[in-house]
Amino acid sequence: MSADPGVTPDRSALIAALGVTIDPELLELALTHRSWAYENGGVANNERLEFLGDSILGQAVTVMLYSSYPDLDEGELAKRRASLVSAVALAEVARGIGLGDHLKLGKGEELTGGRGKSSILADTVEALIGAAYLDCGGDEATALVLRLIDPLLADPARFGAAMDPKTSLQELVASLGRTAPVYEVVDAGPDHSKVFTATVVVDGEGIATGTGTSKKQAEMAAALSAWTALSARTA
């Protein structure tokens, strides 16, 4: 259910997961999706914070990669940066900290599974980074970025999967002696705001689904979820 605008939710678990205390009003703004804002009188939403956080995220990841991988050329650095700041990777980060439970969504988004949508989760991560920058400064915001992406960097297999989930899934499926994955994609919503849902099918079995604002994004999200599911089965 969407949050009651008159009730202040308990954000202690989220604050602990982030590792930084953000001003409560700014934190609530960062968690406010435009659908919730529209249904509650057109109040402010998190899109401006998302815009700010996107820039901070890109800079922090760029500097980290440049410093940590001195032997990589520009092309490989750019590829790794693109993977780490992608909606697929950020959505995985969001799921890891339970961010979906804290989103402020309108009823329509609630009914269509908005708490699990990669695009919404990724945008909210960026908004939180922007909020951390405004309230705590650049150093704290950069530290937050590095904490958030650390689980991907600490797990080479998952890092590789996040960089190129469709290729990683195809290689994993081949190693298991199964047929190549097939992606079944459907879309919903008006032309200016479509949501795509992809299902990965292997040997007739639906392994996982993913959503996104484009067919490619949905397929990547589904591929990473399928890679995770199949990896867990073979562990």
Q: Name the residues annotated as catalytic.
A: 54, 126
On whether 25 is known to bind a ligand per the annotation, the reply is no
- HEC profile of the chain: CCCCCCCCCCCHHHHHHHCCCCCHHHHHHHCECHHHHHHCCCCCCCHHHHHHHHHHHHHHHHHHHHHHCCCCCHHHHHHHHHHHCCHHHHHHHHHHCCHHHHCECCHHHHHCCHHHCHHHHHHHHHHHHHHHHHHHCHHHHHHHHHHHHHHHHHCHHHHHHHHCHHHHHHHHHHHCCCCCCEEEEEEECCHHHCEEEEEEEECCEEEEEEEECCHHHHHHHHHHHHHHHHHHHHC
Identify which of 78, 71, 118 has the alpha carbon closest to the alpha carbon of residue 94: 118
Residue with tokens 């999706």: 33
Q: What per-residue string of b and e applies to 9-22 under the rule 16 or more CB within 10 Å gives b?
A: eebeebeeebeeeb
> What's the CA gap between 140 and 163, in Å, rounded?
26
On whether 187 is known to bind a ligand per the annotation, the reply is no
On whether 74 is known to bind a ligand per the annotation, the reply is no
Residues making up the binding site: 50, 123, 126
